[in-house]
Structure 1
Amino acid sequence: MNGFEWRKIQHDFHIISTTFAITFNIFLIILISTRSPKTMRSYKYLLMGVSIFEIFYSSVEIIATPIVHSFHTIVVVLTVVGDWPRLLMRILTSTYCGSFGCFLAMFAMLFVYRYYLVSGNSKVKYFESWYLVPLAAIVLFCGFIWGAIGYLMFGPSEEIDEFIRLDLYEELGLHPENITYVAPHFYLINEAGEKVWNWDCIIGMSGVCTIVASVPLVLLQLPLVILFIFSLLNIHLGQIAGIDTFTIFLFPAVDPLPTIFVIKAYRLTILGCLTTCRVAPLSHPTSQVPNANLVSVANIGGATAPRSLNLKYSTPIYLEP
């Protein structure tokens, strides 16, 4: 498959997945706003914040259409400049990387919240009312750090341009002059065939890999960890490396679905629309439903809270068997 055809497949998949991502997240925001049980308390605001950010993330994808690729020892997040100003596309590429950093911090925060709920920890109060403001600021700050590092430390350079030039054309049908990129790398190979190590990147990525191990794996972390491992070992993946582009694009489209279908109030609304063309009524409070299954939080990103829990600080949501 030539480079143009491969990029065309990636672009088409990107448009489809991003369209679904924006649609599903808008629908989830409407459900959260109109059909959330009172027992959800501040959790609904956390869910809404995730959906709003995923819409922003998908919007950046639509404009920048980034491609995640690997060239021997270099992992590249690149965008085609086209008729856009090069500086603008570089900023958008760094913003895209920063959004990924926000995701990591955001889901780490959600897992801490769920842990406090199921364990009955009194610290769950720090996720109520105005406490959400500094928590949101921390998430945005993490994203800013990711984006700033990508822009300032791993931007385009003549050495990287020459290192990727041949493979870039063979695999993607592009020239370095046509793109801008963020390119963390472990080492380059000079004209004498000697490895020139980038120790700052190696130390930094070790910390990143430690952080990402605690958050969703399949669509975000695992593909990138594999990419960095192969880069460290100087194993060139070729067009296979582009699979990361598909999984990252797919994530914001898949992420809202567990919340939509696990929380009973949202699920009943969907089923009511599909079967009777009307909104199904909310169920009675869980205390009035015999033999109810209780969960403390909804399933997001593949983390399901233990069933049959009704703790002091939990926010029970009734789920039908």
Structure 2
Amino acid sequence: MLWLHIVQYSGFFLAQITNSALVYLILTKAEKLFGTYRHVMCTFAMYSLIYAWIEVLTQPVMHIKGPCFIVFMDSPLKYHSWIGNMITCLYCGSFALVISLLAAQFFYRYVAMCRPELLAKIEGFKLTYIFIPCIVCFVLWFEFVYYGMANTVEKQIYMKEELENYYEEDSERVAFIAPMYWSIGKNGEKIWKFGEIMGSTGCVCIIAVCFSTIVICATNIYLTMKSVNCHMSARTLELNHQLFLTLTFQVVVDFEDRIHFKDFQTLLPFIMMYSPVGLLITLPLFEVYVGSIANFVPASLAVYPSLEPLIAMICIKDFRKTILCSSWRKISPRVTAYITSSGAIL
């Protein structure tokens, strides 16, 4: 518990620093570089600041036992049942907003690179359209958790001994959410709880849709960049490579300040967000006893918002030069010729 809270508080403070720095760089350096896309980047960075506050306000602890996993609050509000349960549900819904906003970034880059004729449909105020699916994911996840994983007396009894032994916590008092996929009847038969299974299935579907969007968009962006090298200026192509590297987080920076591809993967969010939460939801179906090892998930989710801005600061050369106090290179007129009226890089 001590180490988990150290990680959570460290992630919170680092997230405030790194995301604030990224917002500053976007507002001051990115207008001519990235056009309208800077609004999408800035939205993700600003929401990461909010997410870090929700996470530290919840201080979630997770545990898996049999057909049940539990997410309980360990902040000072944990014994205020109504507000505690609402904040815990809000924390879970906030995760859905993080992964869907990441998918929205990939979708915008896909439109800018592969379907530039559609850019007019998401210019200006219309840019908010790409955030509507993100809000839908947030609302759906919140509802799945609130109704499908509600705090019940049966779950309190089932997890009582486990929480006392591992965390010295009273399951009847602490705020939590937990799906319980089945219970055991009087004759030893399994009584399936289809409402809770459907809630967890909905959460897994949201993860699958977001990750599939990222993979499909990233694949098309990569293939487009490989096929149109001769039609882009070197500078424009380099900027698109930097943005692609920012999203996929596979980068090598050499001593001559060049950036190269290492692999084609969305490695960081897959390891730190999609996989841990997906396993947390699915392992209880197979009665895999994980116990307190499940707390890798809240630790990972606490750290991720502080790392994501660092990727942009490293991969985008102008950001990196600003941070390192290097000389600022002005964008040449030739590059601006490749920027649309909306400011998006083609």
- Smaller-chain TM-score bracket: 0.7 to 0.9
Deviations 1:172-231 (A, max 9, x none): 221113311111232223454332212233334334324313153111110122222321
Which residue is equivalent to 2:328?
Answer: 281
Between 124-133 and 224-233, the greater mean CA deviation after superposition: 124-133
2:189 to 185, 190, 194: 194
Which residue is equivalent to 1:18?
Answer: 12
Q: Could you list the runs of 5+ residues in structure 2 that have no partner in the other structure?
A: 215-268
* Matched residue SS, 1:151: helix
* Matched residue SS, 1:169: helix
Does 2:144 match 1:97?
no
Deviation at 1:132, TM superposition (A): 2.2
Deviation at 1:243, TM superposition (A): 0.9
Does 2:284 match 1:231?
yes
Alignment partners' CA distance in 1, 2:65 and 2:282: 12
Which residue is equivalent to 1:34?
Answer: 28
Cα 1:190–1:15 change in 2 (3 A) is: farther
Deviation at 1:48, TM superposition (A): 0.7
Cα 1:201–1:10 change in 2 (3 A) is: same
Alignment partners' CA distance in 2, 1:115 and 1:314: 15
Alignment partners' CA distance in 2, 1:108 and 1:124: 17
Alignment partners' CA distance in 2, 1:148 and 1:211: 13
Between 211-220 and 153-162, the greater mean CA deviation after superposition: 211-220
* Counterpart contact for 1:79–1:93, Cα < 8 Å: yes
Letter in 1 for 2:26: I
Letter in 1 for 2:17: T
What root-mean-square deviation, in Å, do the aligned CA atoms of Structure 1 and Structure 2 show? 2.6
Cα 1:164–1:192 change in 2 (3 A) is: farther
Letter in 2 for 1:195: K
Alignment partners' CA distance in 1, 2:165 and 2:327: 55
Cα 1:286–1:72 change in 2 (3 A) is: farther
Alignment partners' CA distance in 2, 1:113 and 1:236: 41
Larger helix proportion of the pair: 2
Cα 1:97–1:281 change in 2 (3 A) is: same
Deviation at 1:141, TM superposition (A): 3.3
Cα 1:286–1:24 change in 2 (3 A) is: farther
* Counterpart contact for 1:37–1:265, Cα < 8 Å: no
Alignment partners' CA distance in 1, 2:202 and 2:142: 16
Deviation at 1:314, TM superposition (A): 9.4
1:165 to 160, 176, 180: 160
Letter in 1 for 2:312: T
Which residue is equivalent to 2:57?
Answer: 63
Alignment partners' CA distance in 1, 2:298 and 2:193: 25
Please give the residue correspondences for 1:299-318 in structure 2 after superposition, counting only pairs within 5 Å: 315-316=344-345
* Counterpart contact for 1:120–1:311, Cα < 8 Å: no
Q: Could you list the runs of 5+ residues in structure 1 that have no partner in the other structure?
A: 1-6, 273-278, 289-309
Identity among equivalent positions (%) equals 21
* Matched residue SS, 1:176: coil
Deviation at 1:148, TM superposition (A): 2.8
Alignment partners' CA distance in 2, 1:120 and 1:10: 44
